[in-house]
Amino acid sequence: MMQQITLQHILLLSTALFFIGVFGLLTRRNMIAILMSIELMLNSVNINFVAFNKYLYPEKLDGVFFFLFVITVAAAEAAVAIAIIIHLYRYNKQIDVSETEEMRY
Instruction: Please report, as residue ranges, which positions from 48 to 87 form the binding site for another protein (by CB under 8 A).
Output: 50-51, 53-62, 64-65, 67-69, 71-80, 82-87
Spatial separation of the C-alpha atoms in residues 94 and 77, rounded to whole Å: 21
Count of residues in contact with another protein, rule CB under 8 A: 75
CB nearer another protein, residue 77 or residue 101 = 77
Residue 64 C-beta: closest distance to another protein, Å: 6
Buried b (16+ CB within 10 A) or exposed e, 31-48: bebbbebbbbbbbbbbbb
Task: Report if residue 103 touches another protein, rule: CB under 8 A.
Answer: no
CB of 48 within 8 A of CB of 11?
yes
CB of 105 to another protein, least distance (A): 9
CB of 21 to another protein, least distance (A): 7
Percentage helix, strand, coil for the chain under 3-state DSSP, each rounded to 5: 75, 0, 20
